[in-house]
Amino acid sequence: MRSDIPFYANNKGGGAITLGSHPIGATITFTQNWFDDNANHYEDHGYGLNTLDWLDQLSHEVRHMPQIGKAGGYLAYASTALGQYAAYGSHDKAPNEIEADLGSKIFRDFKAFVSKNYGGNALSGLFEAVSRHADIRPTIDKWWSEYQEDHRKKTKNF
Amino acid sequence: MAQTGCSNNKITMKKLFNLISLAGICIFGSSCSNNTIYFDLSNQTVNTCSGRYISSLYIEKSDYSEYGTFSVKDGQSGTSSFKINLRGGGYTFDPGSSGKMFVITPNSKFIIKNVSNGDAAASQVVIQTDSTGKVVFASKIACD
C-alpha cells in the first residue's frame, strides 16, 4: 500500500511503516518512490523494479506484524512503540525495531549465500524472469533449505 | 440518551487517541531520520548526512567472500563517522553465514549500506580499494 504516511522523504529513499489492530490484516505502507519504476526519479530513489530492495525492506516490516498481536492490538502496539522510542532515546535502539531488524539481517545473509553459491544475480533473476514464475517457490524452498543447513553447521543453533 | 452520548464520546476519544498515536509514531519513527550516507575519501570514513550515529552498517565484498553487519554495542552511543578499516570502537561484527571476520582487502570492491533505521530505506555507497587497501573510489563522496 502507498500513501503520504509514512513521512520519510521520497528523495532520500523513503521508507515504510507497519500498522494495524491484528497481525492478520495489518498494513505495510510504503512511500511513493517505491512504486516508481523509473530508478532516476526521486533523485535516483525510484525502486519499482528493484525486487531485492523491496524484499529487504519488507523483511523488516513483516517482523512488526507479530508485535501487533503480542502487544494486543493497535493502541497497545502504537503506545508500546512510542514508549520504546522515548525510553531508549531513539527509533533505532527500540527493542521492537532491533527485533524487526533481524528479519532484514537474515534476508541479506540469505541473499549473500545465494549470490555466493549461484551467482550474483541469481535471486533477482529468479524474480524478474517472467518465464520462471512457476519456479520461484520451489527454487526459494531449495535455496532456503540449503541456507539453513549451511547456517546450522556453522552456528549449531539456528 | 445519556448512555449513547457517553458511548459516542468514548468512540471519539478512542479515535482521537489513535490519531495522536499514529502521529506520534510518524513523528518519532519516521520523519526525523533517514539512512543517507557518503564516503569521505580523505578520512576513509563512512559518514551520515543527517549527523545521526550509525547503529547498523551492512558491508559486502563484491565476490561475496566476506559480508556481515556492524552493530553498535549495547550501552555505546555509536558514531556518525565510521572508520571501516578499524575493528572495535563500540561496534560488534556479525559475519552471518560467511563465517569470516571482515577485512578491507586491496584491489577490491565493496558495497556498504547504512541500515540503522530499519523503517527507512537503506542508503548505500560502493567503494573500491587500491593495491594498498586504501579506498580510492566511492560512488558517493558528499551529501546532496
Helix, strand, coil distribution of chain B in percent, nearest 5: 25, 35, 45
| pLDDT by 10s per residue, chain B, length 144 | 333 344 455 556 666 666 665 655 555 554 457 999 999 999 999 999 999 999 999 999 999 888 999 999 988 888 999 998 766 578 999 998 888 888 899 999 999 999 999 999 999 999 999 999 999 999 999 997
Of A53, A60, A115, the CB nearest to B119: A60
Give A135's pLDDT tier (boundaries 50, 70, 90).
confident
Mean pLDDT of chain A: 90
Tell me the CATH number for domain B33-138.
Answer: 2.60.40
Task: Say what the ipTM of the complex is.
Answer: 0.88
**Cβ atoms within 10 Å, residue A131:** 6
* CA B77 vs CA B8, B49, B117: distances in Å: 47, 17, 15
Of B56, B67, B120, the CB nearest to A15: B120
Largest CA distance in chain A: 50
pLDDT digits (tens, 9 = 90+) for A70-102: 999 998 998 999 899 888 888 888 999 999 999
Q: Do A14 and B121 touch (CB under 8 A)?
A: yes
* Amino acid identity at B50: S
